[in-house]
Amino acid sequence: MALFETEALVLRSYNLAEADKIVVCLSRSSGLIRGVAKNCRKLKNRFGASLEPFTLINLTYFEKENQELVSFSQTEILKSRFNLSSDAAVLSGFSYMGDLLMDFSPPRQANDNLYRMALACFEAVSQSPADLEWVLRYFEVWLLKLEGFLPDLRVCANCQKAFSGEEQVYLGSDLSLRCSSCSLGRGTVISKHAHQQLRATEKLSPAKFAEETREVPIDIIKELAQLAYKVISRVLERTPRARPTFSPFIQ
Ligand SMILES: [Zn+2]
């Protein structure tokens, strides 16, 4: 039996038997882990409170050979998001990010860039809940990028010519981007403005990205939300479990 300690973000928890929970976390040093927290529901104890979704914790757990579920033994709250628990939009955004992290992260594979990006997005929304939609767009782009599914935003996949930033581009069914002459008019059109916003995610933190794009028209948020929805559904071969906040616009 091996003992591990890591920083982790709680993504989801399920009740198990009378007093236990199954908890899914994205951890810094072991990636996605699923574990059993025994007796955490017996009393209103700190152990139980630390395992509420979206809490950032220091986690100590045991791992037995050939067992998928680890055993959570100790936790310490680093950051609670309890103050946001009555904000339905924020909670739905957090659930959406949490579900995508569970869908895209292979179990037990540390990915420090993904962990830091996810943490920065949860933190940006916590600091400024009004920026939720922009942070979600940022999160989607970076999740796809870090998992290797984001097309090259800078050059046409066919002729390799750099995009000028002043033209619309086309997303093909193979999930690559083409210039208008190479696309032959086929694929999903990405407007100049939406393409510029996609490129902006590459250079900025989520908080800075949201701050710098608050004045961008809502149509562009919708365009990016629809685009991400399309790409994510294609990669997962199904639609995301939690609908993004802009789902009314996504048919
Ligand atoms: Zn081209």
Q: What is the pLDDT of residues 73-91, one digit of tens each?
A: 999 999 998 788 888 889 9
- Residue 54's nearest CA partner among 17, 105, 8 is 8
Neighbouring residues of 173: CB distance < 8 A, sequence distance ≥ 6: 187
The predicted structure's pLDDT at residue 251: 39
Q: Encode pLDDT of 190-246 as tens digits.
A: 999 999 999 999 999 999 999 998 889 889 989 999 999 999 999 999 888 776 665
Ligand 1 is an ion; residues with CB less than 5 A from it: 156, 158-159, 179, 182
| pLDDT-based confidence at residue 248 (cuts at 50, 70, 90) | very low
**Cα 138 to Cα 32: distance, rounded to the nearest angstrom:** 21
Distance 143 CA to ligand 1 centre (A): 26
- Give alpha helix (H) positions in 105-241: 112-127, 132-146, 180-183, 192-201, 206-212, 218-236
Distance 39 CA to ligand 1 centre (A): 59
Q: Examine the pLDDT at 14 and tell me if it is beyond 60.
A: yes
Distance 155 CA to ligand 1 centre (A): 8
Distance 197 CA to ligand 1 centre (A): 20
Distance 159 CA to ligand 1 centre (A): 4
Q: How deeply is 189 buried, as exposed, middle or buried, from its count of CB atoms within 10 A (0-12, 13-18, 19+)? A: middle
HSE value, Cβ hemisphere, 13 Å, CA-based, for 145 = 16
Whether the CB-CB separation of 233 and 239 falls below 8 Å is answered with yes
Distance 196 CA to ligand 1 centre (A): 18
Q: What is the pTM of this model?
A: 0.92
**Cα 194 to Cα 247: distance, rounded to the nearest angstrom:** 18
Two structure tokens written together for 143: 């999740």
Distance 1 CA to ligand 1 centre (A): 55
- Residue 151's nearest CA partner among 205, 208, 228 is 228
Distance 31 CA to ligand 1 centre (A): 38
The predicted structure's pLDDT at residue 246: 56
Two structure tokens written together for 242: 């939690």
- 13 to 24, 41, 88, 147, 191: CA distances (angstroms): 6, 12, 18, 24, 40
Distance 103 CA to ligand 1 centre (A): 32
Number of Cβ within a 10 Å radius of residue 1: 8
Distance 190 CA to ligand 1 centre (A): 14
Which letter does DSSP use for residue 109 in this model? -
Distance 135 CA to ligand 1 centre (A): 30
Tell me which residue has tokens 């996949």.
157
